[in-house]
Amino acid sequence: MNKSPDSCPVTLCMEEIGSKWKPILLFKVSQGINRFSILLKSIEGINKQMLSKQLKELERSQILERKTFAEIPPRVEYSITAKGKSLMPVVQAMKKWGQNPAEKPTVKKPESKGDQQLPLFG
Amino acid sequence: MNKSPDSCPVTLCMEEIGSKWKPILLFKVSQGINRFSILLKSIEGINKQMLSKQLKELERSQILERKTFAEIPPRVEYSITAKGKSLMPVVQAMKKWGQNPAEKPTVKKPESKGDQQLPLFG
DNA sequence: AAACATCGGTCTGTAATTTAGACCGATGTT
DNA sequence: AACATCGGTCTAAATTACAGACCGATGTTT
């Protein structure tokens, strides 16, 4: 119904980390995997152009910080900023889901009472 | 380091809802916005082809369910499945962040003790 | 000494994805 | 008679992602 840019909080968050690679990057860097070539090796399916682009965007939006070392061959290290840390609960929720994805019906409580579910999420 | 497909839980989760639109769709449908044209109007920037594609993918991966009503004009309603519900913590974390994005330094506790932060995230 | 590897990327051309806009059929509204 | 609604599809054009070559300075291997 409303189309104002900041009306949907999920959209706001997606504008920061809503891409195929950003949450994974945030996760990897939070684990200490913080150099270009190591990230490239440890993230399946990404290539250097995409990694470069995503890192630049994350740096630009102040989620990651880039530090270069004047060595040969050059070394670059990425780290998570305060803003990046504030986004970690999202990444952690993803991690938690991924550690126990909803494949099997999760046989816990039979729920009884005709599968009522109305209130759901607010 | 490891490139096996299921080694990274965040990647696993991203394979389900890792696209520009899926978390927003999940959020909207969870709010009761569950018809094609209404979703189209309430999500800024999406078009009908993309909406159609994302809904199909979400249906295919059993995150959303599609129910058609033989009326004229036709009516279609989408709802969240059990698997979709299991993904809601991620969407909720996004919502929470979006409601209080890390723009200002969040002046809460001064943290003291030289901003120690080593253990960070596991 | 010559070749190759490392590091963090960039450049180019092609392949894949996304987009805008028209269109659909049955009915209700102006 | 013309237009709107509903939930989409089709086509062609624009945008984005990809693979592979390349860079410069040095270290390592042959």
pLDDT digits (tens), chain B, 122 positions = 433 445 799 999 999 999 999 999 999 999 999 999 999 999 999 999 999 999 999 999 999 999 999 998 999 999 999 999 999 999 999 999 999 877 655 455 444 443 343 334 44
pLDDT of residue A18: 94
Domain ranges in chain B? 9-90
pLDDT of B74: 94
Choose among B113, B90, B3, B30: nearest CA to A88: B90
The Å distance, CA of B71 to C1' of D1, is 25
- Residue A50 is predicted with a pLDDT of 97
- CA A91 from centroid of its chain's CA atoms: 5
Closest protein residue to C27 using CA and C1' atoms? B72
pLDDT higher than 80, residue A111: no
Strand D bases, protein C-beta under 7 A = 5-11, 17-21, 24-27
**Cα of A59 to nearest chain B Cα, Å:** 15
B9 and A38 within 8 Å at the Cβ level: the answer is no
- Contact between B16 and B87 under an 8 Å Cβ cutoff? The reply is yes
CATH 1.10.10.10 holds for B9-90: yes
**Contact predicate B18/A20, CB 8 Å:** yes
CATH number of A9-94: 1.10.10.10
Looking only at the bridges linking them, the beta strands covering A64-69 and A75-80 are antiparallel
For chain B, helix, strand, coil in percent to 5 are 50, 10, 40
What does the CA dihedral A100, A102, A108, A110 come to, rounded to 10 degrees?
170
Q: Do B106 and B48 meet the contact criterion of CB atoms below 8 Å apart? A: no
pTM: 0.84
Interchain CB distance below 8 Å, B89 and A101: no
Mean pLDDT of chain A: 85
What SS3 string covers A8-52? CHHHHHHHHHCCCCHHHHHHHHHCCCCEHHHHHHHCCCCCHHHHH
